[in-house]
Chains A and B, each alone.
Chain A
Amino acid sequence: MVRFENVGLRYGLGPEILRDLSFEIPAHSFQFLTGPSGAGKTSLLRLLFLSMRPTRGLVNLFDRDVSLLSKDEIADMRKRIGIVLQDFRLLDHMTTYENVALPFRVIGRDESSYRKEVIDLLKWVGLGERMDALPPVLSGGEKQRAAIARAVISRPLLLLADEPTGNVDPTLGRRLLLLFVELNRSGTAVIIATHDIALMDQYDARRLVLHQGRLHIYE
């Protein structure tokens, strides 16, 4: 599903922050991406989400060389990828329900066709009572759950999550991890970037460890 070959990334004329990354993410797989702060986890997720291009090397996603993709093809490919960012990126003028339903709206689905699905998921992540609230009045944890719900609602083939449990208590963190596991069982490849050891210890999965710009894989 994802293949990196000798990928390097630098910002401007600075040093390479990712060096010679070569790895594969198989379909239906589950992995944690970890490493110290500043190791390049978010940059690697951005490469995987096609919001950045590598300075060198080959990135292959869904059997396509991403360097050859047009903007429209990138947009189409992103419909198959869900992403949860640390800063949530919710739209403040839309309710929680509308934010979560956004991926469906963008592909032109009728509201009645996804309404129940969205409400079910909001209940599942504990936002059933907050679905009509606007993001500015949500707590950090609630925003995080809304962002996760938006990323998983369309059942993407690949889910990228950047510190998805960073703002929730351990109980809810376990519940969200269970959501990712459920999603993985239904066929989604999951990559969770975290430096929360306790979270990783709760689920036995492949670990990708970034250290000084290089990637070490522990199966």
Chain B
Amino acid sequence: MDLGQDRPQVAAEARNLSPIVPRASIAGRALVAVVAIMTFLASITTGAVLLVSASAAEWQSEVASEITVQVRPLAGRDLDRDSAAVSEAVRTQPGITGVQPYTKEESAKLLEPWLGSGLSLDDLPVPRVIIARVSPGSPLDLVQLRSRVAAITPSASVDDHRAWIERMRSMTGATTFSGLAILALVIAATIISVSFATRGAMAANRPIVEVLHFVGAGDRYIANRFFRHFLRLGLEGGIIGGGAAMLVFGFSESIANWFSGTPVGDQFAALLGTFALRPTGYLILAVQAGLIAAITAWASRRTLLATLDDIE
């Protein structure tokens, strides 16, 4: 365009341009709070599942590395002699690394919490227990061991704790399943919240979207202007929520120590160990927080493009 003599000669200076979509026009704080809370809940759930799984795995490996042989008293048989013979048979079985037979006194000690002290066990049919440690890696022929033990006395039985391990497995599976279900709910709630927030932001900024359409901006360009805000909000929420959850797990060991010695503290310690998350656990929580931020960004982008389709 020729502006002739009216063309002004001005010094051009660099300018700081305002963002096309102003940050203040998006209800950011509420969305950051929602994403932070959701990330926190998801992280606590995942952390708890990791703790339970780790403790259960520890229990399982401990229980699986032992077998228990029970010798029940039978009329007309010498229980001490049967126990000693069974112990010897177990000791010589390939795959067994050690045997610990419980004496009458030790068995009485085991029953003391239920029956009290100073009680004579002579009149009670209390079985003898023999604990045998299984060598890890070498297969133990349980069928052969059972037949050898049965040959010594018909009142002996071998327990490889399979029922216990199965129960433990189902408990761990149920915990993991519940954790995954909670995670799925948290993620669904996050997606719904983000979609609502995005629609709200789009409605508030509809005049901007229309003007951008007027000057020839495509939907992808416009979506990207909004997307940047939502990605940052998602990251902020993810960092706050994930960070808070990591702090909780970081301090949980100290908190557990305050309760040690109390019945509640001991029960928790027995179930969940020291309450301490391993480094890989923290890594998983960090990845999860990033994932929730990414889900936030994806949900907002999906809503943005769907909403832009309706604006001429």
Residues of A that sit less than 8 Å from B by CB:
49, 51-52, 71-72, 75-81, 83, 85, 89-91, 93-95, 97-98, 101-103, 105-107, 111-112, 115-116, 119-121, 123-124, 128, 150, 152, 155, 182-183, 185-186
Contacts and interface: CB of A to CB of B under 8 A. Distances in A.
A51 B312 contact: yes
B76 interface: no
Nearest to B20: A105
Interface string B1-24: 111001110101111011010100
Given A91-B207, A98-B17, A111-B15, A119 B213 contact: no
B14 A123 contact: no
A111 B7 contact: no
A102 B3 contact: no
A59 to B, nearest CB: 15
Interface of B is mostly: loop
Contact of A98 (B6, B14, B18): B18
B213 A75 contact: yes
A111 B18 CA distance: 12
B216 A79 contact: yes
28 contacts: A49-B214, A51-B312, A72-B219, A75-B217, A78-B214, A78-B215, A79-B216, A80-B216, A89-B207, A90-B211, A101-B17, A102-B20, A103-B216, A106-B215, A106-B216, A112-B12, A115-B15, A116-B12, A119-B12, A120-B8, A120-B10, A121-B1, A123-B6, A124-B6, A124-B8, A152-B1, A182-B2, A183-B1
Contacts of B18: 93-95, 98
Contact of A72 (B13, B25, B218): B218
B106 interface: no
A102 B207 CA distance: 14
Nearest to A94: B18
* A-B CB proximity, top 3 nearest: A79-B216, A123-B8, A75-B218
A102 B17 contact: no
A187 to B, nearest CB: 10
Contacts of B216: 75-81, 103, 106-107
Contacts of B219: 71-72, 75
**Contact residues on B (Cβ < 8 Å of other chain), bracket:** 20 to 34
B221 interface: yes
B215 A112 contact: no
Contacts of B215: 78-79, 102-103, 106, 150
B211 A91 contact: yes
A116 B9 CA distance: 9
B219 to A, nearest CB: 6
A71 B8 contact: no
Contact of A112 (B1, B2, B10, B14): B14
Contact of B213 (A52, A78, A90): A78
Given A51-B312, A91-B207, A97-B15, 16 more contacts: A75-B213, A75-B218, A94-B18, A95-B18, A98-B15, A98-B18, A102-B211, A105-B20, A115-B14, A116-B10, A119-B12, A120-B3, A120-B7, A120-B8, A124-B7, A128-B8
Nearest to A119: B10
A51 B209 CA distance: 13
Contacts of B2: 182, 185-186
B210 interface: yes
Nearest to B225: A106
Of A76, A77, A89, chain B has the most CB atoms within 10 Å of the CB of A89
B158 interface: no
Interface string B194-224: 0000000000000110111111111111000
Interface string B261-299: 000000000000000000000000000000000000000
Contacts of A102: 20, 211-212, 215
A67 B20 CA distance: 30
B62 interface: no
Contacts of A77: 216
Contacts of A90: 211
A33 B226 CA distance: 38
A106 B1 contact: no
A70 to B, nearest CB: 10
Contact of B17 (A49, A83, A111, A186): A111
Interface in B18-35: 18, 20, 22, 25
Interface in B178-198: none
A183 B221 CA distance: 28
B309 interface: yes
Contacts of A121: 1
Contacts of B309: 71
A123 B3 CA distance: 10
B228 to A, nearest CB: 15
Contacts of B3: 120, 124, 182
Contacts of B14: 111-112, 115
